[in-house]
Amino acid sequence: MAGRKRPPRRQGAAGWLFVSPTIVVLGLFLLVPVLMALWVSFSDWSGVGSPLSSGVKFVGTKNYQQLLSGGSLAETNFGTSLRNNAWYVVFVVPIQTAVALLLAVLVNRQVLRGRGFFRTAFYFPSVTSSVAITVLWLFLFSTTGAVNKALSFIGVHGPNWFNDPDGIVHLALRLFGVDRGPAALTGHTALGVSWWDWFAGPSVAMSAFIMMAVFTTSGTFMLLFIAALQNLSSEVQEAAMMDGANGWQRFWRITLPQLRPTLFTVLTLGLIGTWQVFDQIYTGTRGAPDNTTVTPSYLSYTTAFGSQQWGQGAAIAFILFVIIVVLTLVQRSVLRERAVSKRRMRLYDPARLTGAAATTAKETSR
Amino acid sequence: MTSTPLADRIGTGAPEPDSKAPPPARAGRHRALMPASIVLYVALIAIAVIYVLPFLINVVTAFKTEPDATANPLALPVNWTTAAFHTLFTNSDFPTWVKNSFIVAVFVTAGRVFFDSLAGYALARLDFRGRNVVFALLVAVMAVPSVVLMIPKFLVLNQFGMYDSYAGMIIPLLVDAAGVFIMKNFFESIPRSVEEQASIDGAGTFRVFWSIVLPMARPALVTIIILSFQGSWNELPHFIISTQSPGLTTLTKGVASLASGQLSSGNQYPIKLAAAAIMTIPVAVLFFVFQKRIMNSSDGAVKE
Amino acid sequence: MQRRTHRLLAAGALTAVAALGLTACGSGFSSGDGAGSGSSAAALTSSDDPLSILIGSSGSHETKAVSSAVADWSKSSGTKATVTAASDLTQQLSQGFASGKPADVFYVSTDQLAGYAKNGSLLAYGDQLKNKSDFFPTLVKSFTVDGTFYCAPKDFSTLGLIINEKMWKEAGFTDSDVPTTWDQLKTVAAKLTTSDHVGLALSPQYARVGAFMAEAGGSFTNADGTKATVDSNANLQGLEYVQGLLKSGDAKFSSDLGTGWGGESFGKGQAAMTVEGNWITGALSADYPDISYKVAEMPAGPSGQGTLQFTNCWGIAKDSPNQKAALDLVEKLTSTDQQLTFAKDFGVMPSVKSAADTWKTDNPDLAPFLDSASFAEGVPNQAGSADVVAAFDSKMSGLKTADAKALLATTQKQFAAVLSQ
């Protein structure tokens, strides 16, 4: 753009005219709402009439304090929701990335018969609605459902999926006879949840949602990896082949490092998406059993629309926002540490990243 | 590819490498039927079964009776019945939900196609003061997670008196920043000469955009159509917070309420799964129609 | 070029943040246009606007019955009215109140009443009811907040023991074996448990398990609802009794049987007995008409008989433009005749004294429900108590292996916090 001539006058007007619908809609339904909610999160608005009316008072950080300290029910619920979602993220992000990469590598063979079929099969779950998939999942994972039936064929008595609140880490420990946590863990709490419970792992119910997330998002990310794989330079591969490296070594030493930019994108999108789980909780379990599927976004919704604690609900949303931003930045700095070639540097362009994020965040949040 | 804007790839419908696979590769196929290859196919087929089977179960169960669905979740129906569909269409609000979902999806798709390309064109081609600020704002806006917006969007719709109306359901979705990005990138990839020619001929900016640039943008527009339709069809939170009347319930919201409605309505799996199957049809059709384009381009759409 | 774009971007982002900050100061606080209108209405509003009625229906039979009653009223009064069954009553109500266009008439549960009363969403019309004196006094008390009688009790229900007649006979029991004590309940539950079905099924929630706490003499609060008494020994005793039944396998929660509630487990023949309220009769006849069953009063615990009582009222929105017609409609819906019709249609018990005798004659099999009213306890109705009960409920599905004492202690802490607010 440096060498261009000054624009003709009329382009200025046309430019603004062209972008004005976008600015108006995004301004009114993104910027204004965020500001209004920010105000509500600092107010005592009780859900009747306008939050901008004179009767609504500024209460400082009271709503935030109630969530983060004081031992109230609100704090416990918020702590529980963070615990639930953190485990969800910890499991979904690596698994979906690994599965997507695996599928991409399998499907990317030049001489594969039925390549189109496989790609379609793997990608199809990504286009369907999260509501429809959740309904299906509720059936598949019901007590007498398809999954337990299939398990029974191989002699396994399946769990009562969506009704089982036990954390899978706790269940694993139970196999070794550990039934109660040590006092050091059970006696101390953070955000109203004992350390022992923080380490419970995702509940069996949440695990079903974790599988669903992998099922619905791996296809999208598989496409990203396929695109990246197709652009790898074959020269390096061939050189490595000459050197006698086997397929496994070539994958780890050559392919994977070259995929780093895509890996980074996939991890970022995964992270952003998995912290916003809402649809499947609303459709499926509504937080049950034992609050182990409550997520911050769902809690924010029920706190505001259900319990009429609008300030607190908005506060949860903003804390969640901060968590997502901070984690994304942390992840970026961790993955960025090592020197990257100038060419690849472009892929870290923040504009590209956030753009990509917005497109798929929605997608991947299911 | 990373340096190739997505748009030319969509534009040319970049041929899949395998479609022009040279004869040697075919010869290789015979050689490939070695143990390692068989293992690969077995693995792929096994995974494919895992990915496809749930949808088959979904469709099949929709034709079962409730006791049959509970007792034999994996078998074919003992007696095929369309009772679930009958209940949905004659004894529930399902037709209204379908209608609303279509109305919203059509308007949102049309709006996005127009507004996204308009803004994308301005950001790509028109030099105007403040363009970079607008661009930066767009980036900032995209970083806001949608879930943060549930409560605030409700408050604003309320404040504007648009709550519980089609306007409230549609207008906030009319523009999406990501779509603007896709269009901007596309317009940047096409040569300027055509428009310059037209401008010299004295055509107005909008005319140039409308009758010269837009027709060239068909491939990118298809991407927008796919993403918009799928996005608005599958959208749930926005409709939860923007409506309360049963007459404005969309499929996502309605089926979600079916799913969580307990009490005496019981499990009713065939009805729920029939609803889930029907609501998947439009996006599935879209998917299969534009399959090649999606497979080739959605990576670009995401990355650019 | 690349670097320049970066710098521009950064500058742009900064501007955006600054703009955000400025607008926050500029607009947010000032434009108070006070949409929260209609705060004090001494006289009832009146207009030609149609009424909308939002109900939290237990199923199609209830929706149908209410719809037809409202349609009748519409015809005679000339005011149009539509009935909507909410998919999520609480959410739809709060969105309605916040948007300033709530439904005109709607169900309000006891635990939500205080919250809505506090934020001024409800019209306190109780004293203007023509049939005010006909309501059971305990029910009126449930809908009275700070001395103000808010809304007309719609009907009420109590919990009873529902027994599957066929399974009962198969186990060799007769009418004289109907359990009247905890020990007897445990014995029959054990005998009724076979490989096909469990002895007793119940929904994992306070609204069922609480009955056993009541039988042990426990309650969540003291009599006037000012102090939390959740961690009492009586409550522990009640909870541990249920835990014992679960542990021995003689009872199971409906969630563990893969159903949504006790009535569904019972209807599907997964359980020989369940603890449910009189609403189960409507559901059973609609969804599982082949089941023959009988109703018994809940067995007595260490402190005698006890059960829980539930009720809803017909709330009228303060923002309703047609309160007068709404009041008229409510009077019609709570009239003796209408309540008896509802009772027939979906198994509720009339909230007015004048209908009690007829109801008992009409429903001799269900008399235990109405008879239970003499020892039934209401559920907590303090503002915020719903959240505490929800938190308690969330722990119920894991009761079998839970530490009952710790569970009650947690709830005690939460309830005390709510009451002190």
Reported ipTM: 0.81
Task: Answer yes or no: is pLDDT of A85 > 50.
Answer: yes
**d(C-alpha C115, C-alpha C106), whole Å:** 15
Question: Which residues from B are below 8 Å from A358, CB to CB?
Answer: 142-143, 176-178
* Distance from C-alpha of A285 to C-alpha of A138, rounded to nearest angstrom: 9
3-state secondary structure of B164: coil
Q: Sign of the CA dihedral C52, B105, B121, A9? A: negative
Cross-strand bridge partners of residue C156: C311, C349
Which letter does DSSP use for residue B208 in this model? Answer: I
Domain check: are C77 and C103 in the same one? yes
Confidence bin at C199 (pLDDT 50/70/90):
very high
Are B270 and B64 in contact by the 8 Å Cβ rule? The answer is: yes
Q: Are A143 and C23 a contacting pair at CB < 8 A?
A: no
How far is the C-alpha of A63 from the C-alpha of B7, rounded, in Å?
47
Range among B158-172, C203-217, C369-383 rated most confident: C203-217
- Residue C201, pLDDT above cutoff 60: yes
Q: Which residues of chain B have pLDDT under 70?
A: 1-34, 199-203, 260-267, 293-304
Domain ranges of chain A: 63-364
Q: Would an 8 Å CB–CB cutoff place B262 in contact with chain C?
A: yes
Query: Cis peptide leading into A289, omega within 30 of 0?
Result: yes
Helix (H), strand (E) at residue C144? strand C144-145
> Which residues numbered 327-366 in A keep a CB inside 8 Å of some CB on C?
346, 349-351
Q: Which domain holds residue C296?
A: 158-308+379-419
Of A284-288, A336-340, A348-352, minimum mean pLDDT range: A348-352
CA distance A183 to chain B (A): 37
C260–B266 CB contact, under 8 Å: yes
Interchain contact, A37 vs B55, CB within 8 Å: no
C-alpha triplet C88, C92, C94: angle, nearest 5° = 125
CA–CA min distance B216, chain C (Å) = 27
Rounded CA gap, A96 and A92, in Å? 6
**Cβ-based burial of B103 (10 A; exposed 0-12, middle 13-18, buried ≥19):** middle
Claim to verify: residue C129 and residue C266 sit in the same structural domain: no
User: Whole-angstrom Cα distance, residue B207 to residue A245?
Assistant: 59
Per-residue model confidence (pLDDT) at position B276: 92
The reported pLDDT for the residue numbered A34 is 86
Same structural domain, C134 and C249: no
Residues C394, C360, single domain; the answer is no
Question: A163–C394: do the CB atoms touch at under 8 Å?
Answer: no
Tell if the CB–CB gap between A106 and B71 is shorter than 8 Å: no
Q: Computed from CA positions of residues A179, A72, C411, A296, in that sequence, does the dihedral angle turn out positive or negative?
A: negative
Say yes or no to pLDDT of A326 above 50.
yes
Fold topology of A63-364: MetI-like fold (1.10.3720)
Q: C-alpha angle with apex A168: A129 to A365, nearest 5 degrees?
A: 25
| A18-75 confidence digits (pLDDT tens) | 888 888 888 888 888 888 888 899 988 887 777 887 778 888 888 998 889 877 788 8
User: Does C277 map to a domain?
Assistant: yes
For the cut 70, the answer to whether the pLDDT of residue A7 exceeds it is no
Q: Are residues C105 and C163 in the same domain?
A: no
Interval B82-103: pLDDT, tens: 888 888 888 788 899 999 999 9
- B196-209: b or e for each residue (b if 16 or more CB lie within 10 Å)? eebbeeebebeebb
Question: A81, A294 in Cβ contact below 8 A?
Answer: yes
Q: B93-260 belongs to which homologous superfamily?
A: MetI-like (1.10.3720.10)
Shortest alpha-carbon distance between residue A5 and chain B (Å): 9
pLDDT in tens, C234-290: 999 999 999 999 999 999 998 888 777 898 899 889 999 999 988 888 778 777 888
> How far is it, in rounded angstroms, from Cα B113 to Cα A96?
31
In the stretch 81-100 of chain C, residues with CB closer than 8 A to chain A read: 90-91, 94-95, 97-98, 100
User: What is the token pair recorded at A69?
Assistant: 């300290």
State the average pLDDT over residues C24-43.
37
Give the closest of C96, C101, C260 to B267, CB-based: C260
Q: Residues C150, C151, C153, C158: is their CA dihedral positive or negative? A: negative
Work out how many domains chain C is built from and give that number: 2
- CA geometry: angle C181, C183, C189, nearest 5 deg: 100
Q: Cβ(A216)–Cβ(A102) under 8 Å?
A: no
C150 vs C315: CA distance, rounded Å: 8
For residue C390, what are the contacts with CB-CB under 8 A and spacing of at least 6? none
Q: Is residue C388 part of a domain?
A: yes
Q: Are residues C248 and C183 in the same domain?
A: yes
Sign of the alpha-carbon dihedral angle for B102, B105, B109, B115:
positive
pLDDT of residue A284: 87
Would you say residue A149 has pLDDT above 70?
yes
Distance of CA B54 to the CA centre of its chain: 21
Q: How confident is the model over A170-193, as pLDDT tens digits?
A: 888 888 888 777 878 877 888 888
**Residues C275 and C211 sit within 8 Å (Cβ to Cβ):** yes
- Quick one: C132 and C243 in the same domain? no
C187 and C293 belong to one structural domain: yes
Instruction: Label each residue of chain A as H, E or C.
Output: CCCCCCCCHHHHHHHHHHHHHHHHHHHHHHHHHHHHHHHHHCECCCCCCCCCCCCCCECCCHHHHHHHCCCCHHHHHHHHHHHHHHHHHHHHHHHHHHHHHHHHHHHCCCCCCCHHHHHHHHHHHHHCCHHHHHHHHHHHCCCCCHHHHHHHHCCCCCCCHHHCCCEHHHHHHHHCCCCCCCHHHHCCEECCEEHHHHCCCCEHHHHHHHHHHHHHHHHHHHHHHHHHHHCCCHHHHHHHHHCCCCHHHHHHHHHHHHCHHHHHHHHHHHHHHHCCCCHHHHHHHCCCCCCCCCCHHHHHHHHHHHCCCHHHHHHHHHHHHHHHHHHHHHHHHHHHCCCCCHHHHHHHCHHHHHHHHHHHHHHHCC
Q: Would the CB atoms of C87 and B261 count as touching at under 8 Å?
A: yes
Distance CA C265, CA C10 (A): 61
Classify residue B233 as exposed, middle or buried by CB count within 10 Å of its CB (0-12, 13-18, 19+): buried
User: In this structure, are C172 and C189 located in the same domain?
Assistant: yes
**CA-wise closest residue to A265 among A356, A345, A326, A334:** A356
Cβ–Cβ gap C29/A350 under 8 Å:
no
- Do C172 and C296 lie in a common domain? yes
CATH of the domain at C108: 3.40.190.10
Q: Is there a domain that residue C35 lies in?
A: no
Print burial letters for C257-280: b (CB count within 10 Å at least 16), e (below 16).
bbbbbbbbbbbbebbbbbbbbbbb
pLDDT in tens, C110-165: 888 888 888 888 999 999 998 888 998 878 888 888 888 999 999 888 999 999 99
User: For residue C334, what pLDDT is reported?
Assistant: 92
Residue C17 lies in a domain: no
**C170 and C267 together in one domain:** yes
Please give the single-letter amino acid code of residue B268. Answer: Q
Cβ–Cβ < 8 Å for B300, A227? yes
Backbone phi, psi, residue C107, to 5°: -75, 140
Question: Is C397 touching A (CB cutoff 8 A)?
Answer: yes
Contact C98 B133 (CB under 8 A): no
Q: Do C24 and A73 touch (CB under 8 A)?
A: no
Phi, psi of C202 (to 5 degrees): -150, 155
Residue C214 is predicted with a pLDDT of 93
Q: What is the C-alpha to C-alpha distance for residues A180 and C60, in angstroms, rounded to an integer?
A: 46
Residues of chain A positioned with their CB less than 8 A from the CB of C36: 48-50, 53, 55
Residue of B nearest to A360 (CA): B302
Distance to chain B for C145, nearest Cα, Å: 28
Say what percent of chain B tops pLDDT 70. Answer: 80
Question: Which chain B residues touch A11 with a CB distance below 8 Å?
Answer: 126-128, 205
Q: State whether residue A71 sits within 8 Å of chain C by CB.
A: yes
Residue to test with chain A: of B227, B234, B289, most A Cβ within 10 A? B234
> Could you give the dihedral angle defined by the CA atoms of residues A328, B123, A12 and A26, in that order, rounded to the nearest 10 degrees?
-50
Annotate B154-183 with b (16+ C-beta within 10 A) or e (fewer).
Answer: bbbbbbeebbbeeebbbbbbbbbbbbbbbb
Average pLDDT, chain A: 81
- Decide if A50 and C34 are in contact by the 8 Å CB cutoff: yes
A236 pLDDT exceeds 80?
A: no
Average pLDDT, chain B: 78
